[in-house]
């Protein structure tokens, strides 16, 4: 594997530079003096930000983009081996480096590296932890898988020896990382185009936990099934967290949330306990029980870094969400429009249950869902129907066509629609975003709540509705 000498910046080219992680890495290296270029298939706000910094970006991926003057080519797991830029790089004998390996090498430049992992909630928890460390004057470098307004994007270049980053399990990417400390939020079946089953996923998370050094801290959800299999004999110190519905459960976790309540906006608050001792009350500006859990995980690791509870509570109260995580987009003819990145049945259920708090009387909860990857849709077909049934009306787009898989021809959004109809739900399936927008404009009523949902480009429907 090619190893970058960060003291001697070279020319580096990113294949797929517009990705949420790749764009942050590209900007980080650019700010460290590297000569950065890249390619992607279309212009986005992320690529335009990079261009404004002076980074050269080509909106075609072709062999001509790769020259002998380049020192290393970076790509992601989503880029196929027959990509013309990768093919040309290998013909020229240029070193190629996968995104996960680059991030791992960057991590080695920091003393304290917090890797936030889990099937769901990584971006939100990474954002919350980042704000807590900033409030505690630790000024970490931050790499987050979303746009966080408080840092002006998906990257913050800190001045300290702390780094906070998401640690994704897909393709075992996180096993190439060098965390000193970690959070494991949850472990569920997902990415079954790579993993064999849940047991395979659990083995990967165990290997991730084993990466931590003896002086490190693992913060882990105390409600994960067969927890001891993941934590037994680890060299690092293990800290559990969880939500307590009764006072007698307070000692079940090292960090506990109790006396939970929600205000009229659906924002949660809770009493935070550390080893059975009340630290104080935390007030959130984001909705749902899941975000109470996310904030508690972040608080636990922030405490391990010596951050005061006062700073933690202040940061939690300032966090208003990350783009594409139940993000309020605006109003369209009196309809409240949100967007969410949920693309797994558990995430969909969590978001819709949280949104239900904001819907009263005759108001309807609309979910406009775009499935992401054929393999995930097929593996969780019945679970998708069950989770989507929590909405009053479901509108389905076709499976995201730009996903990393080819259409196998045996699964489509129509299969989800058929199951929803069997359950008696109102469901509609359209093949184009224009049809979806027209239907929503004609049928949504004032004060209804509409969520566009999915990991693809369905957010453009929400934005189009707002623009009119």
Are 176 and 155 in contact by the 8 Å Cβ rule? The answer is no
Residues 6+ apart with CB under 8 A from 449: 335, 336, 338, 355, 358, 359, 363, 364, 365, 366
Task: Give catalytic status of residue 135 as yes or no.
Answer: no
Structure tokens at 379: 């593996």
Going edge to edge, which strands form the sheet with 365-369?
327-332, 335-340, 449-453, 365-369, 393-396, 426-429
Residues 6+ apart with CB under 8 A from 118: 125, 183, 184, 185, 186, 187, 221
> Active-site residue among 47, 123, 141, 238?
123
Task: Give catalytic status of residue 189 as yes or no.
Answer: no
What distances in angstroms separate CA 288 from CA 261, 269, 295, one per listed residue? 10, 10, 11
> Active-site residue among 85, 100, 122, 351?
122
> Active-site residue among 27, 135, 166, 169?
166
Distance (Å, whole) CA 420 – CA 439: 19
Distance (Å, whole) CA 384 – CA 400: 15
Phi, psi of 223 (to 5 degrees): -100, 5
Question: What number of CA atoms fall less than 13 Å from residue 284's CA on the CB side?
Answer: 29
Task: Give catalytic status of residue 122 as yes or no.
Answer: yes
List active site positions.
122-123, 166
């Amino acid at each position: 594997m090619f190893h970058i000498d960060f003291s001697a910046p070279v020319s580096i080219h990113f294949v797929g530079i517009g990705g949420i992680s790749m764009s942050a890495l590209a900007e980080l290296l650019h700010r460290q003096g590297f000569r950065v270029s890249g390619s992607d298939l279309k212009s986005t706000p992320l690529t335009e930000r990079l261009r404004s910094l002076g980074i050269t970006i080509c909106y075609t991926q072709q062999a001509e983009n790769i020259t002998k003057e380049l020192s290393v080519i970076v790509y992601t797991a989503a880029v196929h081996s027959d990509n013309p830029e990768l093919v040309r790089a290998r013909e020229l004998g240029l070193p190629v480096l996968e995104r996960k390996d680059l991030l791992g090498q960057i991590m080695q430049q920091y003393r304290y590296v917090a890797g936030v992992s889990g099937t769901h909630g990584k971006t939100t928890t990474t954002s919350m932890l980042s704000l807590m460390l900033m409030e505690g004057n630790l000024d970490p470098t931050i790499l987050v898988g979303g746009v966080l307004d408080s840092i002006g994007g998906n990257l913050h270049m800190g001045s300290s020896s702390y780094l906070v980053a998401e640690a994704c399990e897909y393709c075992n990417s996180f096993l190439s990382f060098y965390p000193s400390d970690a959070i494991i939020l949850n472990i569920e079946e997902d990415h079954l185009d790579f993993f064999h089953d849940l047991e395979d996923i659990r083995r990967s998370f165990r290997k991730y936990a084993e990466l931590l050094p003896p002086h490190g801290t693992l913060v882990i959800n105390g409600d994960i099934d067969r927890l001891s299999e993941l934590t037994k004999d680890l060299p690092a110190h293990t800290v559990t967290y969880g939500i307590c519905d009764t006072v007698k459960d307070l000692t079940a976790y090292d960090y506990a949330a109790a006396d939970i309540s929600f205000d009229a906006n659906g924002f949660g608050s809770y009493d935070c306990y550390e080893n059975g001792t009340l630290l104080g009350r935390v007030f959130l500006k984001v909705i749902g029980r899941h975000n109470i859990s996310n904030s508690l995980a972040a608080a636990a690791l922030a405490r391990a870094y010596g951050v005061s509870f006062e700073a933690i509570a202040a940061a939690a109260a300032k966090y208003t969400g990350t783009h594409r995580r139940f993000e309020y987009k605006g109003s369209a003819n009196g309809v409240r429009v949100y967007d969410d990145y949920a693309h797994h049945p558990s995430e969909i259920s969590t978001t819709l249950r949280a949104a239900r708090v904001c819907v009263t009387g005759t108001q309807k909860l609309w979910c406009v869902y775009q499935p992401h990857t054929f393999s995930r849709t097929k593996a969780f077909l019945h679970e998708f129907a069950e989770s989507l049934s929590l909405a009053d009306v479901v509108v389905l787009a076709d499976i995201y066509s730009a996903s990393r898989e080819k259409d196998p021809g045996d699964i489509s959004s129509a299969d989800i629609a058929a199951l929803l109809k069997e359950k008696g739900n109102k469901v509609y399936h359209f093949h184009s975003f224009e049809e979806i927008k027209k239907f929503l404009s004609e049928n949504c009523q004032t004060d209804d709540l509409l969520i566009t949902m999915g990991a693809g480009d369905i957010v453009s429907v929400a934005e189009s509705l707002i623009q009119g």
